[in-house]
């Protein structure tokens, strides 16, 4: 899968492999910077945006976090202006992964866009999984995020991708149930779903909205009502 990480076996050469990968990503970032410089500031945003996003991806992998933040933020505003929601969410994902101040606000913005607009459901699930990972075990927030992931897959995914994503999101929801309430049996799981109203989209989407308000505070970077008017007809 493109956005969701699949578990990889550990090797004794893991550290050496990581260092080699970091050096490769640094080299890639330098090459992309040279391409961007060759374009010049007068180049159309449609050409600069993808390069900035690629460069930010490489830089966050190479642990050049300040540089990644700058380029991802610039790319985000380019994609937002162009109404290219999916790469805008990717930029938010990079901003979150820098772990710099503002990372959680970026996560909230990205999740809002990923749920509001019909982008690649795998990317939407990847963003929601970040909330699961950031939420304490006893909090309902992880359950809300995982349930939203299941809902979006049912709503938007198709074909083999739907099968893979459904399996992933159901596993994620089950993991959340175990850590939240020690759920082990199907009967316990069904009762847990009903108790938290995770079978009622109107409820858990409203709860998700409150979670995003906490993450973002006042740092939205865009007017949500204006963007809602741009939602394509379903």
Instruction: Kindly report, residue by residue over 174-215, the tens digit of the pLDDT.
Output: 999 999 999 999 999 999 999 999 999 999 999 999 999 999
Here the tokens at position 158 are 């198709």
Give per-residue pLDDT as tens, 13-35: 555 566 778 889 999 999 999 99
* Among 101, 130, 160, residue at a domain's last position: 101
Q: Provide the domain count of the chain.
A: 2
- Residue 222 placed within a domain: no
Judged by DSSP in three states, 118 sits in coil
- What's residue 3's pLDDT? 79
| Average pLDDT for 211-229 | 96
**Same domain, yes or no, for 89 and 151?**
no
pTM assigned to the model: 0.91
Q: In angstroms, what CA-CA distances link 28 with 58, 102, 148? A: 7, 26, 35
Q: In angstroms, what CA-CA distances link 42 with 32, 39, 148, 218? A: 17, 8, 41, 32
Place of tokens 């790469």: 87
**Same domain, yes or no, for 211 and 123?**
yes
**Same domain, yes or no, for 86 and 123?**
no
- Residue 111 placed within a domain: no
Query: For 4, which DSSP code?
Result: S
- What is the extent of the structural domain holding 83? 13-101
Rounded to whole angstroms, the Cα distance separating 76 from 97 reads 14
Task: Please choose, from the candidates 48, 54, 50, the residue with its C-alpha nearest in 3D space to the C-alpha of residue 36.
Answer: 48
């Amino acid at each position: 899968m493109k956005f969701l990480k699949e578990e990889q076996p550990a090797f004794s050469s893991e550290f050496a492999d990581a260092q080699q990968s970091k050096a490769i990503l640094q080299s890639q970032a330098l090459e992309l910077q040279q391409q961007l410089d060759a374009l010049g500031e007068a180049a159309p945003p449609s050409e600069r945006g993808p390069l900035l996003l690629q460069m930010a991806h490489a830089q966050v992998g190479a642990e050049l976090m300040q540089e990644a933040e700058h380029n991802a933020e610039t790319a985000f505003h380019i994609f937002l202006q162009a109404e290219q929601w999916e790469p805008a969410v990717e930029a938010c994902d990079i901003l979150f992964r820098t772990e710099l101040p503002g990372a959680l606000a970026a996560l909230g913005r990205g999740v809002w866009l990923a749920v509001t607009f019909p982008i690649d459901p795998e990317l939407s699930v990847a963003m929601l999984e970040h909330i699961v990972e950031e939420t304490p075990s006893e909090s309902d927030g992880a359950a809300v995020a995982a349930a939203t992931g299941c809902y979006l897959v049912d709503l938007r995914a198709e074909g083999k991708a739907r099968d893979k994503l459904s399996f992933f999101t159901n596993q994620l929801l089950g993991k959340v149930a175990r850590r939240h309430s020690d759920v082990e049996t199907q009967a316990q799981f069904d009762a847990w779903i009903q108790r938290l109203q995770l079978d009622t989209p109107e409820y858990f989407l409203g709860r998700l909205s409150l979670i995003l308000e906490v993450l973002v505070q006042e740092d939205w970077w865009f007017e949500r009502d204006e963007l809602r008017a741009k939602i394509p007809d379903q």
